[in-house]
């Protein structure tokens, strides 16, 4: 049997990572792929109050439990099942529940900061960066946060100016140089997505 294929997919907030991952999953044979989301691996902050947790900068690598994420990826490489944590953005803390995640032939690791850690990057067989214009990403973020998270425009713009934009420039944009594939995604890029799916299909 071929080795498992580990694909890292990153890009700034609103770049279309989730859309691309879903497109790949929907066109692959059932039960051949699993997704490991960086969002599940924000650090547990039980020692902090809710007010303190709500002020956490989630766009800084320091917020990620890379130690546990790397440990789990290594376990999947060995063929072991992991207990993937669940993070609640309502309480800004890790929950007590976990998701039992068995190893599949294709493991997709997605998140804005996954290429920021060298050891984690080196565990990816293919590294994909979705590159989207900042204005387009902001528009997508506004629509998502208003429609799906009930936030107001001033809150979204303040967070973007104070946190998202500077963190993107400091921690996300520079990791583009580590990518094997850079996908311009201002518009749906079916050619690039199909290329990634072809690579996966050949592996399967």
DSSP-assigned letter for residue 64: B
Q: Where are the domains of the chain?
A: 5-203
Provide the percentage of residues in the chain whose pLDDT is more than 70.
94
Options 3.40.630.190, 3.10.20.30, 3.40.50.300, 3.30.230.10; CATH of 5-203: 3.40.50.300
| Distance of alpha carbon 169 from alpha carbon 171, whole angstroms | 6
- The pTM assigned to this predicted structure is 0.87
Structure tokens at 58: 């989630």
Q: Per-residue pLDDT averaged across 108-120, rounded?
A: 96
Q: Please, is 79 exposed, middle or buried when counting C-beta atoms within 10 Å of its C-beta (0-12, 13-18, 19+)?
A: exposed
Q: Per-residue pLDDT averaged across 16-23, rounded?
A: 84
Mean of all residue pLDDT scores within the chain: 86
Q: 1 pLDDT band (50/70/90 cuts)?
A: very low
Number of Cβ within 10 Å of residue 127's Cβ equals: 22
The three-class DSSP label of residue 129 is strand
| Contact status, residue 39 vs residue 111, Cβ threshold 8 Å | yes
Structure tokens at 189: 């890029």
The three-class DSSP label of residue 143 is helix
pLDDT tens digits, one per residue of 149-199: 667 787 778 777 788 888 989 999 999 999 998 888 655 566 777 778 788
Q: What is the pLDDT of residue 62?
A: 95
């Amino acid at each position: 049997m071929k080795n498992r294929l580990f694909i890292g997919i990153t890009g700034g907030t609103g770049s279309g990572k989730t859309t691309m991952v879903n497109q790949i999953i929907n066109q692959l044979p059932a039960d051949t792929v699993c997704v490991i989301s960086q969002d599940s691996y924000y650090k547990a902050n039980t020692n902090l109050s809710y007010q303190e947790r709500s002020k956490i900068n989630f766009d800084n690598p320091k917020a990620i439990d890379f130690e546990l994420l790397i440990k789990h990826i290594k376990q999947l490489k060995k063929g072991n099942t992991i207990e993937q944590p669940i993070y609640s953005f309502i309480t800004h803390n890790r929950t007590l529940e976990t998701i039992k995640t068995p190893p599949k032939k294709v493991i997709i690791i997605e998140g804005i900061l996954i290429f920021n850690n060298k050891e984690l990057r080196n565990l990816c067989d293919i590294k994909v960066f979705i590159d989207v214009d900042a204005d387009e990403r902001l528009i997508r973020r506004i629509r998502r946060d208003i429609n799906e998270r009930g936030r107001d425009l001033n809150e979204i713009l303040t967070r973007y100016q104070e946190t998202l934009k500077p963190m993107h420039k400091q921690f996300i944009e520079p990791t583009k140089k580590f990518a094997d594939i850079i996908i311009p995604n201002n518009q749906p890029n079916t050619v690039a997505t199909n290329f990634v799916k072809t690579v996966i299909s050949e592996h399967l």
